[in-house]
Chain A
Amino acid sequence: MSFQIFSQTFVNSLLLSLIYMLVAMGLTLILSIMSMINFAHGELYMLGGFAVYVIFQRFGCNYWLGIIVGVAVAVLMGVLLERTVFRPLRKELLPASFAALGIGMILQTVSLMVFGPLDKDVATVFPGVINISGVFIPMEKLVIVLGSLAVIGAIIVFVNYFRAGQALQAVAQDSEAAALMGININRINALGFGIGCGLAAIAGGLIAPLYYVSPYMGMAPLLKAFNVIIIGGLGSIPGAVLGSFLLGFIDQFSLTYMGYVGNLFGFLLIMVFLLFRPTGLLGRELRMH
């Protein structure tokens, strides 16, 4: 294989890693704060995709407006769900996760009823390809990369330098101690859940023009996001970043150099982590009640 293929695969890996990161970020944030697996994450991602489809593709409005609407709906839904469904189930890993599964099924069925099962196309928003010495970078993917970097940057700044973000960290580390320090746990949980849902919608909205939109579009990214947080560590945002890059590079290089057999390597990696380092690279152990 030539240097050009290696370079193209390297660039493809970077792009794929950042897409993985974008999807996994919200999932790991909710896991860290609420100690639950948000099985509805894929459907919130779908919601972001459909918001772009309706606002941008159907109504011809601005693409970014579609993303903003998707995020607003997802955040609102997240806050509402936290208040009505997940607050009573706080720190109850299994019941909360099953409830999320049910909510995901409801969202999928509703979108199936509203939009039908056929795939919907979203027109290319950023056409064109950058060619650097035979290595091609599609503009669309470049925008996703910039979007992902902006989102991760915003999350890091928010979590480290804003009071509400620091409160999120405190609740994730020890909610009882945080409550004793005067942090309003209910408000912080709602905020964290809302942000997590919003991140899923951002990912769906950004990725919609890259592929297509359908009620089932959330399934594959959800699985990849799970893989990322298993590798990176349950509930760890820096872990999700590391996990995304590790999985993205292994997926791309193994598939490029070995064909479809390369799919095995991602799964092998997950098995190795589950067996020898179940907390992932930077994760913590989840307490089950």
Chain B
Amino acid sequence: MKTKKGLVGGVFILALTFLLVFTNARVAPAQESQILKIGGFNPRSGPAASWGINTDRAIDLAADEWNKKGGVTIQGKKYKIEMIHEDDKARAEEAVKAVNKLIYTDKVKFIAGPMMSSPFLASAPIIETTKTITFVGCMAPAVLKDRKYIFRIAVPWNHAAPAFFKYVTKIRPNLKTSVHISSNDATGWASTQADNDACVAVGIKVLGSEFYDAGTQDFTSMLARILPLKPDFLSFAGTPPNVTALVIKQARELGYKGEFIHSSHCSPGVVGPIAGWDNIEGMLTGNFTFEGEKVPPAVKKIYNDWITKYGQENAAGFPDGVVQYPLIDILCRGIEKANTLEPDKVVAAIENLGQMDTVFGKARWGGMKTYNNNHQLLVPIWISQVQNKKLILLSLEEPWDVPPPEQKWR
């Protein structure tokens, strides 16, 4: 009797939980005619949420721009863009669930913005089989290899890192040795490979590579291994900003005097308050920013729109996800050029867009030698520096179409 009563109590609590979860869930907008649905899945909760949410925000902002202009024109009809974002919690099984929902329930033909390699790779076979044209930001090489319907908008480490570190050797010739820190997963291993290959290619000696498991908050054991090697800089690439911040904070506490470099996107607005702004002064990152003489006016406009729509949160330098802002523009131009939603024709039209003017500079498709397709956007990479709690653009550098050969760095 007591057990029965207890079970009823337990079920009641769980029911209350689900009620709360569902009242928090987004209600799907009503179906309308002449709507172009674009799906998206990214971590919107959990440790990688800051990346996912900001990516989705950037894509929404770009979609707003097209909608303000009336939408996408297909055979004389205007289609307004409707974004449907799902939360994959940076987990493979959640990503597969999200993709199935988007394709089979929401009937989307396009997906925009997945930025975590491991979850995306789990869902890629469904995307390719259903001919769902997808623009991604995730960086692992396998994401693009031999794909027909997947395009990559962010410049991955293997193309960006050589240009990044070449520039580093130019402005900081004193930086001669590095240790790379990344997560113990597909994203982390790919970024480590790329960063270390790039360092070796430009003459920086790689002293070691360290991997941490997801959820780690105490890095003192890892740092106790690294710091006696006395690297000139610690390098991060696929490391989320909150984790980067903790490593930096703990490294300084353990007496590390060297520099920190994050060769991909890592918002100092997240890193600074946790790591301490003094600890990241002078840090070089591949993040986009709105400050510095070299920043194009179009980017400053995006920043103003961002602030208007989302407020000031995390706004020292652009939040990390803004890298995917140009994808909506490229996708919509491709659809308009194809003048149809038929996937193969849209793919062909996108591939033939030629040289494109994007907000981040002139871009073109590349990657044939590496991925057996020309689905990698080659857009200038931004190299910025933290200066007095601001992120200042130092240079725009051309990414390498053909990455350096794999080195024996381990």
Contact = CB atoms under 8 A, between A and B. Distances in A.
A102 B17 contact: yes
Interface string B1-40: 0110111011001101100110010000000000000000
Interface string A97-112: 0110111011001101
A110 B273 CA distance: 25
Interface string A218-260: 0110000000000000000000000000000001110111011
Contact of B274 (A1, A88, A119): A119
Interface stretch (B74-82, B211-219, B290-298): B211-219
- Say what secondary structure dominates the interface of chain A: helix
A105 B50 CA distance: 21
A19 B242 CA distance: 20
A88 B314 CA distance: 46
A179 to B, nearest CB: 16
A146 B100 CA distance: 51
Given A89-B9, A211-B246, A12 B221 contact: yes
A15 B253 CA distance: 13
Interface string A199-211: 0000000000001
B314 A260 contact: no
Contacts, number: 140
Given A109-B21, A255-B221, A121 B273 contact: yes
B302 interface: no
Interface stretch (A25-33, A123-131, A157-165, A183-191): A123-131
Contacts of B215: 219-220
Contacts of A129: 253-255
B9 A263 contact: no
Given A5-B228, A119-B274, A92 B2 contact: yes
B53 interface: yes
Contacts of A214: 47
Interface residues of A, number: 58
A218 B134 CA distance: 35
A262 B228 contact: no
A106 B46 contact: no
Contact of B7 (A5, A95, A216, A256): A95
Interface of B: 2-3, 5-7, 9-10, 13-14, 16-17, 20-21, 24, 44-47, 49-50, 53, 184, 210-213, 215-218, 220-222, 224-225, 228, 242, 245-246, 250, 253-255, 270, 273-274, 276, 313-314
Of all A-B residue pairs in the complex, the 5 with the closest CB atoms, nearest first, are A95-B6, A102-B13, A255-B221, A121-B273, A117-B49
Interface of A: 1-2, 4-5, 8-9, 12, 15-16, 19, 85, 88-89, 92, 94-96, 98-99, 101-103, 105-106, 109-110, 112-113, 117-119, 121, 123-124, 129, 131, 134, 136, 138, 140, 211-212, 214-216, 219-220, 251-253, 255-257, 259-260, 262-263, 289
5 contacts: A117-B46, A118-B50, A119-B50, A121-B245, A216-B46
